[in-house]
Amino acid sequence: MDGELLSDTFVELTDTMVAGFDVIDFLHMLTDRSVALLDVEAAGLLLADPRGELRVVAASSEAVRLIELFQLQNDQGPCLDCFRSGRPVQATDLAAEAGRWPRFASAARQAGFGAVQALPMRLREQVIGALNLFRADPGAFAAADIRVGQALADVATIGLLHERSMRRRDTLNEQLQTALNSRVVIEQAKGKLAERLGVDMDQAFSLLRDFARARNRRLSELAQAFVDGTETLIGLTRQQPRPGSQREPRA
């Protein structure tokens, strides 16, 4: 593991907590850095909602197939096992996991992954979610990777709480809901932008995030304003409509 990249990453993450913090942007950065730091190809952060459902709040790629892999784990998979037990869960060869997680293992392999790891997000005695890591090649995860991965999961938890005083027990619950709500707004904004520009969801997310950073605005606020119609994203790259797509005049 690149030691300099490791320390740069933690400096960057803690810096972000100080200036213009947006929880979804922060968590997304964390999944991005997880992929850069660890020997993995994809990463996602899942949080449990009040129903106990695991919901993806950030992922290193917004590609539909990857997001689906996270959503599948509500039913079965390493994240669910990790969430229930509060302990790391690993599968070093997904080809051998058909018995343990039949649907998940099959979907993950079809998506091109050979090994998976889930690390718990914990606060004191509560498990609030999981960091999910995917690797293309089967094989054990290095001990150093697991240690750093768990540290990243812990930083994610801290990031969720940093905005307000940690005195009150209510704070974690409030912050969890904020993160979950913000994610929904961002999904709605992605859809609107993807349709407007004729791009896919991954590109739509990148455009929103880049625009927010360039204008020094919080991603969640920008997404809300865009969906509300109070933000027109003037200056965002305008692309030609895709060939064959119909652009109906606005009423």
Partner 1 sequence: MAAVVAPLAGAARMAVSRQGRIWGLVAAEAANRGGQVSASDACAAAVAAVQVTGGWLSAASGAEPAGHLMSVTDAVSERLAELQLMLGEGPCPDAVGYGDLVLASDLGELEADRRWPVFVPAARRAGAAAMFAFPLRIGAIQTGVMGLYRDRAGPLSDVQLGDALIFADTAALLLISADEAGETAAGSGPGGQPADLAGHRAEIDQATGMLTEQLGVGITEAFIRLRAYAYAHDRALADLARDIVARRLRLGPDPGPSEDGWRDGTPHR
Q: Which residues bind partner 1 (CB under 8 A)?
A: 48-56, 64, 67, 71, 74-75, 80, 83-87, 120, 122, 125-128, 168-170, 173-174, 177-178, 181, 184-185, 187-196, 201, 223-224, 227-229, 244-246, 248, 250-251
How far apart are CB 19 and partner 1 at their closest, in Å? Answer: 20
> Residue 38 or 128: which CB sits closer to partner 1?
128
Provide the minimum distance between the beta carbon of 137 and partner 1 in the complex, in angstroms, as a whole number: 28
**Which H helix or E strand runs over 78?**
helix 78-85
CA pair distance 35, 46, nearest whole angstrom: 16
Q: Token pair for residue 64?
A: 């539909």
Single-letter residue type at 107: A
Give me the residues paired with residue 145 across strands.
Answer: none
How far, rounded to the nearest angstrom, does the alpha carbon of residue 32 sit from its chain's CA centroid?
Answer: 9
Minimum distance from residue 5 beta carbon to partner 1 (Å)? 27
CA distance 36 to 42: 10
Amino acid at 229: G
By beta-carbon proximity to partner 1, the closer residue of 4 and 248 is 248
Min CB(15)–partner 1 separation in Å: 25
- Of 56 and 108, nearer to partner 1 (C-beta) is 56
φ and ψ at residue 69, rounded to 5 degrees: -60, -35
- Is the Cβ of residue 86 or residue 102 nearer to partner 1 in the bound state? 86
Rounded CA-CA distance 147/153 in Å is: 10
Minimum distance, C-beta of residue 228 to partner 1, in the bound complex (Å):
6
Nearer to partner 1 among residue 12 and residue 174 (C-beta):
174
Please say which residue, 9 or 74, places its beta carbon nearer to partner 1: 74
Helix (H, G, I), strand (E, B) or coil at 142: coil
Phi-psi region of 71 (alpha: psi -120 to 50; beta: other; left: phi over 0): alpha
Q: Compute the least distance from the CB of residue 123 to partner 1, in Å.
A: 9
Q: Which helix (H) or strand (E) holds 251?
A: none
Shortest reach from residue 212's CB to partner 1, in Å? 15
Closer by beta carbon to partner 1, 36 or else 123? 123
Amino acid (one-letter) located at 158: I
Question: Which residue's structure tokens are 């801290």?
Answer: 158
